[in-house]
């Protein structure tokens, strides 16, 4: 039975013409300008103890367009400008609900270049996408087909730091169906020596994507550091070279995690993981780079939304559960378990592999949680939200 109204983002590369590139870059700049102006207006209103929401900022945008200083806002489509005001409203809603930090101003050099168009801001006919204010359709590289009869509800155009252009189309995907229920369950222990260790005893190697390109990345970053700040063209060229290496690392990591999470969700009905606090773990400077490269948070996010798609269950065991120190055979709790201890022998005579033992304990704790609901923190709400799906499904899923 298909999951009702499941939307996913289909992301493709495209090659803009010179005129399209100029138009899109101008649009990105206007989106950033409007966002910052609205954020400043809301901040000033807050100091006066006044309330400003999307409706007020939309009226401000109309007034800004009539001024001589901001008349250039009329040169681009109004749709992405209105959308950035809606994004700002969502950002403040999440901030007041304590789900995110306070919105920050967008930087010209560091912020993501993107613009979102709703249905009134684009035309999609016969496989050709044309944006507002443009006469020619985008030259999209169709790396995979859209679902039959797909009608995008929103289109997001972006350019990454490596200079690559992307278009992401949010569509309903009828191909996502609930998988047949099974009685299989697996405990998953994340690590650095091995990316994952399963309660079945299987260990999945850590590809260490960043380490493979570390020398090339270091060389590119040294060359960038030697460029003077005023050396515009050469500095921009060196920055793009370093960004291309970063992008290649991220693409390989994302592809590997997609294949891995898809396999785990298809094979298991229940998946038990540990609720780690990565922001504290990365404070260890000797491990921070390796932890970021392992992308445990991205792995969890993918696992959760795919489980929501396919009718599986992800259980996150409390981070304080002593999975490594607890004997999975007799339940004895060891006093200490330093990180350098990879194997240990319990008083009952059982010799444990540290990671396999932890995965077995996580599975047992997850089953207890499923039975009585104790000892676990609530699952994050992101799997049911479309935002997580938009962010994480834009790449091709195997």
Active site residues: 189, 274, 355
Strands 270-274 and 313-317: parallel
SS3 101: coil
> Based on the number of CB atoms within 10 Å of its own CB, is 262 exposed (0-12), middle (13-18) or buried (19 or more)?
middle
Bridge partners of 131? Answer: 122
Residue 287, phi then psi, degrees to nearest 5: -115, -10
End-to-end CA distance of the chain: 21
Q: Alpha helix (H) ranges present in 66-165?
A: 78-96
Write the DSSP assignment of 171-233 as a string of letters: EE-TT-BPPPP---EEEEEE-SSEEEEETTS-EEE---HHHHTHHHHHHHHHHHHTS-TT-HH
Q: How far apart are CA 337 and CA 324, in angstroms?
A: 7
CB 394 within 8 A of CB 160: no
How does strand 165-172 pair with strand 7-15? Answer: antiparallel
- DSSP string covering 325-341, please? TB-TTT-PBPS---TT-
CB-based burial label for 324 (10 Å; 0-12, 13-18, 19+): middle
Please list the residues that pair with 115 across neighbouring strands: 157
For 35, 78, 160, 362, 380, the CA distances from 115, given in Å and listed in that order, are 11, 11, 12, 42, 28
């Amino acid at each position: 039975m298909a999951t009702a109204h499941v939307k996913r983002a289909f992301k493709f590369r495209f090659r803009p013409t010179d005129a399209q590139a100029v138009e899109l870059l101008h649009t990105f700049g206007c989106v950033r300008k409007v966002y910052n102006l609205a954020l400043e207006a809301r901040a000033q209103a807050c100091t006066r103890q006044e309330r400003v929401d999307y409706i007020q900022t939309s009226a401000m945008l109309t007034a800004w367009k009539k001024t001589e200083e901001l008349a250039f806002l009329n040169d681009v489509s109004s749709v992405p400008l209105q959308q950035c005001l809606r994004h700002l409203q969502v950002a403040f809603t999440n901030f007041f609900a304590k789900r995110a930090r306070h919105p920050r101003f967008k930087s010209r050099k560091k912020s993501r270049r993107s613009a979102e168009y709703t249905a009134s801001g684009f035309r999609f006919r016969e496989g050709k996408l044309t944006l507002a204010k443009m006469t020619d359709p985008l030259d999209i590289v169709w790396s995979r087909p859209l679902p039959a009869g797909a009608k995008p509800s929103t289109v997001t155009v972006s350019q990454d730091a490596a200079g690559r252009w992307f278009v992401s189309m949010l569509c309903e995907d009828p191909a996502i169906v609930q998988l047949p229920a099974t009685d299989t369950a697996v405990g998953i222990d994340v690590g650095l020596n091995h990316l994952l260790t399963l309660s079945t005893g299987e260990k999945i190697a850590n590809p260490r994507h960043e380490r493979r390109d570390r020398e090339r990345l270091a060389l590119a970053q040294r060359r960038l550091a030697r460029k003077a700040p005023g050396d515009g063209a050469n500095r921009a060229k060196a920055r793009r070279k370093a960004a291309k290496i970063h992008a290649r690392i991220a693409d390989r990591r994302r592809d590997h995690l997609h294949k891995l999470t898809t396999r785990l969700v298809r094979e298991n009905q229940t998946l038990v993981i540990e609720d780690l606090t990565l922001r504290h773990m990365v404070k260890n400077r000797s491990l921070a780079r390796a932890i970021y490269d392992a992308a445990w948070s991205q792995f969890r996010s993918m696992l959760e939304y795919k489980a929501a798609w396919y009718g599986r269950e992800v259980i996150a065991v409390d981070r304080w559960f002593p999975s490594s120190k607890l004997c999975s055979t007799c339940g004895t709790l060891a006093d200490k378990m330093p990180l350098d201890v990879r194997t240990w022998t319990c008083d009952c005579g059982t010799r444990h592999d540290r990671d396999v033992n932890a995965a077995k304990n996580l599975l047992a704790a997850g089953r207890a949680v499923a039975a009585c609901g104790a000892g676990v923190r609530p699952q994050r709400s992101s799997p049911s939200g479309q935002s997580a799906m938009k962010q994480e499904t834009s790449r091709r899923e195997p």
